[in-house]
Each structure stands twice: as C-alpha cells, then as structure tokens.
Amino acid sequence: MNTAATVTLYGGNSPNVRKVGILLEELGLDYELRHVGVFTGEQFNPQFLKLNPFGKVPVLVDAALALPLYESGAILFYLAEQHQRFLPIAGAARYDVMKWLMVQMAMVGPMFGQLNHFRLVLRRGSEPYAEGRYAEQAGRIYGELDRQLARRPWIAGDDYSIADMAIYPWALYLENHGFAADQHPALLAWRDRIGTRPAIARSNQRFQEAFAKPSEASRRAATDADLDRFFGRTESVPPADYSNIRRL
C-alpha cells in the first residue's frame, strides 16, 4: 500500500504556517512538512515561486486539488470545507467564522507582524513612530479579542473553528508585545483552553521535528543583506540594526 502523504505543507516555524499545522492535526490528516528557509531567500527559488509567485509561506499542495494554495486563510477555508469541519456549512454561524477569519488575515496578521518587526526584530526604540503606530493598532485588536471572548467561549461563537486556529498562534505574542496579561483575562483563558488540545501538542511536536532546527539555521546563516531582502529594506533608508534578531 502506498502510504505517502498526499498533502504537503511548505513553511517554517512562523504563526501563519502554524495555524495550518494546527488544522491538519485537528483533522487527523496525513501530511508532510517541507521547510523553506525564508531568512536565506529560499522562497525566491524558481521552483518555489511556481507554487507561490509572492514568495511567501505557507503553501499547501494537495493531490486532490489542481492548484497549489497560498494565503493561510484560503488554505484553512479549503481544508475546512473539504472535510466539513470547523466551519459551519450555512447560516449566520458560517459567516461569523468567515468574518473572524478575515479579521485575522486583514488585521491581526498584518498589524502584529509589523509590531514584531519594529518592536521585537529591530533594536527597541529605533523606529518610534512605526513602533508606536503598530502598538496602538495591536492594543486595539487585543482589547477587542478579549471583549469578544468574555462574551462567548470561542471567537466566532459556541464552537471551536478555523477562526480560533488562525488567531491562536498570533495571540501568543501578547506579553512579548508588551501588553499586560491580567488586562486580557478572557483572551488568556481561551489561549489556555486551546493550548491543552491534543492537536496543539501534536502540531508543536511535528513543527519542532521538521522546522525548528532548519528555521534556526536559516536565521543564523542570514547575512545583513539577506535580512534586508527578507524585510524589504532598500538602499534609500539608513542601515538597520539587526542585533535583536540574532539574539532571538
């Protein structure tokens, strides 16, 4: 019997990839993880650009689908629909999940991602306007997530859904982003509730085995020029101090 996995997830140890890894485990699918060293530019290899011309992970390749899928929200939506789980099939509950999935893709990911860059990657305080702007945006989002979760057990209602899986890996940054855990009690309780699910432990284990070492090696091997390319830093702006990322 051929037991080769028909689903391949390309990526590394980052929140947008982790959310897909969580769903793959929640669905109990057989899948393969393939590392893409984004710090050293593997996402720009012609072979990878055929999968995602934007040169970003995650990408999901499923033998059952005639095209490679990129954009993590689209991947979650595809898998949930395909397996009819973690996304109600109709009605208001379905659109509530879609709404919160869009909140993650349009707000949580972009704003927290920028805050990661300006607060955690660059030397603290080196870009005060950008850091302040994204901290303000992130604070508003964390606050609303907490208020929402104080009213309902899961982000989109009574059931655990792909919206929870999409937000969870990003919500783990709360404290590192400089926000007080005790001011977000509902968010913390929800985070703990998700954290105890067996699928999370299994996914963490798979990512640890497949991604932790190569992701770390890619980050350590990256030169300043590689990091400039990764972060889209052009010659027209002063050089960046990347000492923080080397300490992470």
Ligand X SMILES: N[C@@H](CCC(=O)N[C@@H](CS)C(=O)NCC(=O)O)C(=O)O
The residues of the shown chain that bind ligand X, judged by CB under 6 A, are 14, 16, 38, 43, 55-58, 71-72, 109, 230
Closer CB to ligand X, 55 or 143, in the complex: 55
Closer CB to ligand X, 71 or 127, in the complex: 71
Shortest distance (Å) from residue 119 CB to ligand X? 16
- C-alpha 103/C-alpha 131 separation (Å) is 21
- C-alpha 26/C-alpha 202 separation (Å) is 9
Shortest distance (Å) from residue 109 CB to ligand X? 6
Shortest distance (Å) from residue 189 CB to ligand X? 26
C-beta of residue 198 within 8 angstroms of C-beta of residue 157: no
- Token reading at 99: 């709404």
Shortest distance (Å) from residue 71 CB to ligand X? 5
Closer CB to ligand X, 145 or 184, in the complex: 145
Cα atoms in the Cβ-side hemisphere of radius 13 Å centred on 161: 25
- C-alpha 198/C-alpha 25 separation (Å) is 9
Shortest distance (Å) from residue 36 CB to ligand X? 7
Angle value at C-alpha 27, between 216 and 144, nearest 5 degrees: 70
Shortest distance (Å) from residue 222 CB to ligand X? 12
Closer CB to ligand X, 58 or 88, in the complex: 58
Closer CB to ligand X, 176 or 183, in the complex: 176
- C-alpha 204/C-alpha 225 separation (Å) is 31
Closer CB to ligand X, 21 or 109, in the complex: 109
